[in-house]
C-alpha cells in the first residue's frame, strides 16, 4: 500500500467530504441490514441485491443521486469483502462508521495511465477522482503502475491521503541461516537476541507538555464553539504526528530484520486481552484501574501488533510465533526457570548458575531458541523442570 499526501483546494475538499459522507451512509446501511438478520429470518441481502437497492434509492432521492455512484457502490463491495474476512476468521465483525472516524472512500479503475494519474513536476502529481477532478498530491515515491484501485482518506487532523492498492514484493532472505528473537515491551520497544535494544519514537517532552495544555483547554472550551474545534484539531495533529513516527519506525525496523535474518521469532501475544479494561462492574469493581489504563495506553503506543504484522508481510514463511510463557523467568544459559531470577524490570540474574544479562535481551534469547513453550507442544522443546541433580550410582 503506497500512500501519498493529498493537497486538495478548498472546493475540492468539500467534494471529497461529500464522497466520505456518502460512503459512510451506504456502509452504515449495510451494517444495519446485516445486524437485523437472525437465525430463522430471511438471509441478509447479497451484493447484487444491495446494488439494485442502491439504484432504486438513487432514483427516489435526489440528494443521493447527486453523489458519485462509483463511491457508493464501492462501499457496498468493501462491506462484502469485510464480511468475507469475518467469516474466514481473519478480521472482526464490521462496525458502524462515525463522522471524523474512518473517513474515506475507494475508487476502482485502471491506473498507471495519463487518464488517471499524471506527474506534474519533481515533487507533485495529480490523480483524477470522479465528481472532483484532478487533485494534486505529493510525489514522494514512484506510483505503482499495476495498482487497480486507490483509497482516499482523511484523518482526525484533517490531512488527506491517497493510497494505491498494490501487494508489495516480499523481501528475499539473506541466506545466512541466522535466527533472531524479538522481545516486545513497554520500556524497551523491541529487544533482539543479538543484544540490540530498539526504542520507538514518540512525542518529545515539549510536545507532550503542549498536548497536556491542549487537553486542559479542550475541557474548558464550550461544546460546538470554534475555539473547541481549533483546540481539538491542534491536539489531533500532535497525535497524528506520533502515529506517523510509530508507523515509520515499524516499517524501517521490520525491513531491517527481514534483510538481516533468515528466521524471525516473536512472542504470540494476545494484545486485545492484555489491554482489556480493569474497571469491572458496579457489583465487583476492579482495582488499580488508573494504573491499568496507563499501562494500556503504553502498550497501544508500543506498536507491538503493527511490527509483527509488517514482519509477516515482508518475510512470509520466515516468521514464527512462540508461546510467551516463562520467557522472562527462564535463564537462556542453563534453562533454569525461577521468577526470582528477574531482579527488576531491566536486570536478570539466574539463581542457579549466576548468569546475568539484561532481562529483555535474555527473554529475546529464549524466544530465538524456541524454548518458551509449554509441555503441551509448539515450537522448540518443552519447558524444563527445576529438579535437583541426581548423583550417578556406581555400577
Q: How far apart are CA 152 and CA 68, in angstroms?
A: 14
- Lowest mean pLDDT segment, chosen from 56-65, 90-99, 328-337, 369-378: 369-378
| pLDDT-derived band at 108, boundaries 50, 70, 90 | confident
pLDDT exceeds 60 at position 378 = no
Mean pLDDT over 162-185 rounds to 89
DSSP bridge partners of 348: 342, 357
198 pLDDT tier (thresholds 50, 70, 90) = very high
| Least confident piece of the model among 83-92, 101-110, 227-236, 325-334 | 101-110
Mean pLDDT, to the nearest integer, of 261-267? Answer: 94
What's the mean pLDDT when you consider all of the chain?
A: 86
pLDDT at 273 over 80: yes
Residue 384: predicted pLDDT: 41
Query: Is the confidence at residue 277, as pLDDT, over 90?
Result: no
Cα–Cα distance measured from residue 29 to residue 66, given in angstroms and rounded to the nearest whole number: 18
Q: Taking residues 123-150, report their average pLDDT.
A: 90
pLDDT of residue 381: 38
C-alpha cell at 353: 548458575
- With CA atoms as reference, report the closest residue to 150 among 286, 52, 6, 39: 6
Q: What is the pLDDT of residue 349?
A: 92
Please check the confidence at residue 395 and state whether its pLDDT lies above 80.
no
CA distances, 33 to each of 4, 51, 60, 78, 96 (Å): 34, 13, 19, 15, 12
pLDDT confidence band for 154 (50 / 70 / 90): very high
Q: Across residues 285-292, what is the average pLDDT?
A: 83
Q: Comparing 115 with 325, which gets the higher pLDDT?
A: 325
- The pLDDT, as a whole number, for residue 58 is 94
**pLDDT computed for residue 35 by the predictor:** 84
On the question of pLDDT at 390 being above 70, the answer is no
Residue 159's pLDDT is what? Answer: 92
Which of these, 88, 100, 130, 103, lies nearest to 27 by C-alpha position?
A: 103
Q: What is the mean pLDDT of residues 78-96?
A: 91
pTM passes above 0.85: no
Question: Do strands 117-119 and 103-108 pair parallel, antiparallel, or not at all (unpaired)?
Answer: unpaired
Contacts of 374 (CB under 8 A, 6+ apart): 323, 325, 382, 383
Residue with more model confidence, 313 or 282: 313
Amino acid at each position: 500500500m503506497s500512500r501519498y499526501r493529498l493537497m486538495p483546494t478548498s472546493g475540492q475538499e468539500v467534494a471529497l467530504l461529500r464522497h466520505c459522507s456518502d460512503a459512510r451512509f451506504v456502509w452504515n446501511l449495510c451494517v444495519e441490514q446485516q445486524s437485523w438478520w437472525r437465525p430463522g429470518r430471511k438471509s441478509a441481502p447479497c451484493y447484487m441485491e444491495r446494488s439494485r437497492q442502491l439504484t432504486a434509492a438513487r432514483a427516489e432521492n435526489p440528494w443521493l443521486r447527486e453523489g458519485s455512484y462509483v463511491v457508493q457502490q464501492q462501499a457496498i463491495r468493501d462491506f462484502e469483502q469485510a464480511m468475507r474476512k469475518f467469516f474466514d476468521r481473519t478480521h472482526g465483525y464490521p462496525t458502524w462508521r462515525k463522522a471524523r472516524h474512518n473517513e474515506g472512500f475507494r475508487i476502482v479503475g485502471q491506473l498507471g495511465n495519463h487518464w488517471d494519474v499524471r506527474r506534474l513536476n519533481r515533487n507533485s502529481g495529480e490523480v483524477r477522482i470522479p465528481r472532483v477532478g484532478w487533485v494534486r498530491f505529493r510525489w514522494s515515491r514512484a506510483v505503482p503502475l499495476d495498482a487497480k484501485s486507490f483509497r482516499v482518506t482523511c484523518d482526525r487532523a484533517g490531512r488527506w491521503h491517497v493510497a494505491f492498492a498494490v501487494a508489495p514484493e516480499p523481501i528475499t532472505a539473506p541466506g545466512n541461516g541466522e535466527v533472531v528473537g524479538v522481545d516486545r515491551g513497554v520500556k524497551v520497544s523491541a529487544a533482539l537476541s543479538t543484544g540490540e535494544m530498539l526504542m520507538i519514537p514518540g512525542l518529545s517532552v515539549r510536545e507532550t507538555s503542549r498536548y497536556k495544555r491542549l487537553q486542559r483547554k479542550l475541557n474548558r472550551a464550550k461544546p460546538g464553539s470554534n475555539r473547541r474545534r481549533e483546540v481539538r484539531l491542534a491536539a489531533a495533529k500532535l497525535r497524528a504526528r506520533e502515529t506517523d513516527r510509530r508507523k515509520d519506525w515499524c516499517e524501517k525496523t521490520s525491513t531491517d530484520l527481514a534483510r538481516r535474518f533468515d528466521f524471525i521469532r516473536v512472542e504470540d501475544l494476545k494484545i486485545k486481552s492484555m489491554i482489556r479494561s480493569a474497571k469491572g462492574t458496579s457489583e465487583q469493581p476492579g482495582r488499580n484501574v488508573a494504573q491499568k489504563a496507563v499501562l494500556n495506553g503504553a502498550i497501544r503506543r508500543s506498536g507491538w501488533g503493527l511490527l509483527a504484522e509488517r514482519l509477516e508481510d515482508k518475510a512470509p514463511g520466515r516468521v514464527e510465533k512462540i508461546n510467551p510463557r516463562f520467557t522472562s523467568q527462564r535463564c537462556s544459559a542453563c534453562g533454569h526457570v525461577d521468577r526470582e531470577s528477574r531482579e527488576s524490570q531491566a536486570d536478570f540474574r539466574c539463581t542457579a548458575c549466576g548468569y546475568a544479562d539484561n532481562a529483555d535481551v535474555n527473554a529475546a534469547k529464549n524466544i530465538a531458541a524456541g524454548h518458551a513453550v509449554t509441555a503441551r507442544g509448539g515450537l522448540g522443546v518443552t519447558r524444563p523442570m527445576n529438579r535437583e541433580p541426581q548423583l550417578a550410582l556406581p555400577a
